[in-house]
């Protein structure tokens, strides 16, 4: 997420920050950090400025100084719209950081909504909606679903794949911007805001008129990597689907690095062992697990795993 567009409210501080940005674009991160420090002397309450200082210090190899700047950003905006807590966890080795801040995820995708489809599909080679739907249909013998719920529906990329196989399709997302784009596509019978990190009673999936056990399919494509620990999601899903209902989802593959791993991308990766254990703990049966490539990330590809589980 870029913080460059967020003004300090002071002309002189903004000018120093603009010079810092230009120096960073020229890979002089130490010089950029020094200019940002000068800007923050003028406006010490500027949270976005502290976060940007953290980025420059981090790229300059000043790890402890970067953590201090991220902590300053978090102190000024405790709801953590910039994801400073994730940066702190990544740089300080606080391995027990198991959740991305909801305010950060919502703002990230609100900012991304207008260019999401083009950036993800055309530039990053994203094909999880098609791959996950193909695995679902192959596993179930082209089953048709009475009611499906797309968790973290985004702009509706998965909904477009599921629509022909579903009578009633619901979509839920944390980002109002994403929901607006999804609504414009006319794919969903119902759309609503939801936070999958919360308990079922508070998450938004079980709003008025949307009871438990109502779905025979729940799906989550490229959503769980923003959630860290997945216990809350499985609690929601097991209440959402009825007997025989399916849960189709993807994760970034942590491989042998651990159960839940925070990557430099500020996304979480999960191991197949960890996910399989949650499936069993939730009383579900794992029908399929398929390793795949989720998308590109710069010059690298992002490995993932597709899962189909049944209630």
Give pLDDT, residue 97: 57
Whether residue 84 has pLDDT greater than 90:
yes
Summarize the confidence of residues 57-83 as an average pLDDT.
95
Write out the two tokens for 237: 């899903």
Write out the two tokens for 88: 């702190």
Q: Domains of the chain: which residue ranges?
A: 11-97, 109-310
Give pLDDT, residue 9: 86
Whether residue 249 has pLDDT greater than 90:
yes
Judge whether 67 and 57 are in contact, CB under 8 Å. no
Alpha-carbon distance 268 to 118, whole Å? 23
User: What percentage of the chain exceeds 90 in pLDDT?
Assistant: 78
User: What percentage of the chain exceeds 70 in pLDDT?
Assistant: 95
Q: What is the CATH number of domain 11-97?
A: 1.25.40.10
Say if strands 268-270 and 260-262 run parallel, antiparallel, or are unpaired.
antiparallel
Whether residue 2 has pLDDT greater than 70:
no
Higher pLDDT, 124 or 233: 233
Q: For residue 293, list its beta bridge partners.
A: 303
Give pLDDT, residue 95: 58
Average pLDDT along the chain? 92
Convert 160-190 to b/e letters by CB count within 10 Å (16 or more is b).
Answer: bbbbebbeebbbbbbbebbbebbeeeebbee
Give pLDDT, residue 96: 58
Alpha-carbon distance 141 to 101, whole Å? 38
Give pLDDT, residue 4: 46
Q: How confident is the model at residue 1 (pLDDT cuts 50, 70, 90)?
A: very low
Tens-digit pLDDT profile for residues 135-184: 999 999 999 999 999 999 999 999 999 999 999 999 999 999 999 999 99
Whether residue 185 has pLDDT greater than 60:
yes
Whether residue 64 has pLDDT greater than 90:
yes
Alpha-carbon distance 75 to 39, whole Å? 18
Give pLDDT, residue 122: 67
Judge whether 269 and 253 are in contact, CB under 8 Å. yes
Alpha-carbon distance 214 to 242, whole Å? 6
Torsion over CA: 270, 272, 274, 279 (sign): positive
Judge whether 249 and 305 are in contact, CB under 8 Å. no
Q: What is the CATH number of domain 109-310?
A: 3.40.50.150
243 burial via Cβ count (<10 Å: 0-12, 13-18, 19+): exposed
Q: At what angle do helices 84-92 and 63-76 cross, to 10 degrees?
A: 150
Give pLDDT, residue 276: 97
Q: How confident is the model at residue 126 (pLDDT cuts 50, 70, 90)?
A: confident
- Residue 182 to residues 118, 153, 157, 186, 223, Cα–Cα distance (Å): 14, 8, 8, 7, 16
Tens-digit pLDDT profile for residues 192-239: 999 999 999 999 999 877 899 999 999 999 999 999 899 999 999 999
Tens-digit pLDDT profile for residues 275-308: 999 999 999 999 999 999 998 877 788 999 999 9
What are the φ/ψ torsions at residue 141 (nearest 5 degrees)?
Answer: 65, 45
Alpha-carbon distance 42 to 260, whole Å? 40
Whether residue 273 has pLDDT greater than 60:
yes
Write out the two tokens for 298: 């710069």
């Amino acid at each position: 997420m870029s913080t460059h567009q967020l003004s300090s409210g002071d002309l002189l501080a903004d000018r120093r920050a603009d010079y810092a940005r230009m120096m960073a674009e020229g890979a002089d991160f130490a010089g950029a950090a020094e200019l940002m420090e000068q800007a923050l002397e003028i406006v010490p309450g500027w949270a976005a400025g502290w976060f940007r200082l953290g980025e420059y210090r981090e790229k300059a190899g000043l790890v402890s100084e970067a953590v201090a700047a991220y902590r300053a950003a978090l102190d000024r905006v405790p709801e953590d719209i910039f994801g400073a807590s994730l940066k702190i966890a990544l740089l300080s080795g606080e391995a027990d950081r198991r959740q991305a801040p909801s305010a950060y995820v919502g703002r990230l995708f609100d900012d991304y909504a207008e260019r999401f489809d083009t950036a993800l599909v055309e530039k990053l080679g994203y094909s999880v909606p098609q791959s996950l739907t193909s695995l679902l249909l192959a596993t179930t013998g082209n089953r048709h679903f009475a009611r499906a719920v797309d968790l973290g529906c985004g702009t509706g990329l998965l909904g477009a794949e599921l629509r022909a196989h579903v009578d009633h399709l619901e979509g839920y997302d944390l980002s109002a911007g994403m929901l607006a784009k999804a609504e414009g596509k006319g794919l969903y019978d119902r759309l609503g805001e939801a936070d999958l990190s919360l308990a079922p009673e508070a998450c938004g999936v079980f709003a008025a008129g949307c009871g438990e056990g109502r779905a025979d399919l729940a799906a989550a494509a490229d959503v769980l990597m923003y959630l860290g620990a997945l216990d809350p999601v499985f609690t929601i899903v097991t209440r959402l689907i009825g007997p025989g209902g399916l849960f189709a989802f993807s994760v970034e593959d942590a491989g042998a690095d651990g159960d839940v791993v925070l990557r430099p991308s500020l996304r979480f990766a999960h191991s197949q062992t960890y996910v399989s254990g949650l499936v069993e703990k939730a009383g579900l049966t794992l029908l399929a697990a398929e390793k795949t490539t989720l998308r590109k990330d710069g010059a690298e590809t992002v490995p993932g795993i597709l899962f189909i589980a049944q209630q």
